[in-house]
Amino acid sequence: MMPHLGVLSTVYPEAAWEIFDKDCLVRLGTVIAPHGKAEESEEVLKVKLEMPDGNSLDIQMKYGAIRGISLPEGEEAEAIISPHKNFDIGAGRGKKLETKIQGGVVGVLIDTRGRPIKLPDDEPKRKKKLLEWASSLDLYPKTEMGDLLDK
C-alpha cells in the first residue's frame, strides 16, 4: 500500500495523508515515562486520570515499576502528572504537567523503570523482576503466569 500512497501523494496529497493516517498507522497509546533516577521502590510519580466515562484514577508509581491502564483507541483522558523533585515529565524537574492523553491498542503505560532499564545480575532476581513486569501488564494468561512463577 505504501508505494501506491507515495504515487497518490504527488497528485492528491491530502487524500494520501488521510488514507495513511486512517488505514496504515496503528495507534498504540500513550507512554508516561519520567526522566530521573531513584532507589528501587522509591515513590517517583503521581498520576491523576479523568477517564472518558467520568471515573477518576489516582495512581502512585515507585521507581522500577510499570503499569498498564485500559484506554481504547480514539478516546482521551485528562491527566495531571506530578513527578517528585528529581524527575522530569517534560515540564522541568519536579514540575506538574496537565495534559490530555490518548488511548490506543495498548492503552496507557506508566513506566518508571528508568533508562537504561537495569535488571538484577542475579538470575532468580532477574527472572522475578521480568515476571513482575509481565504480570503488571497482563502480557500472558494468568494460568501461564502461574506456571512460570512456579518454576
- If the chain, 151 residues long, is cut into consecutive pieces of 10 residues, what is the mean pLDDT of each piece? 92 94 91 93 95 96 96 96 95 96 96 92 91 88 71 58
* pLDDT given at position 138: 86
Nearest to 20 by CA among 45, 44, 39, 2: 2
Question: How many C-alpha atoms does 43 have within 13 Å on its Cβ side?
Answer: 6
Hey, what amino acid is at 127?
K
Which pLDDT belongs to residue 151?
58
d(CA 20, CA 38): 41
> How far apart are alpha carbons 92 and 86 in whole angstroms?
10
Give the type of residue at 92: G
The confidence score (pLDDT) of residue 38 equals 93
Residue 96's nearest CA partner among 87, 106, 107, 109 is 87
Cell of 149: 512463577
Model confidence, pTM: 0.84
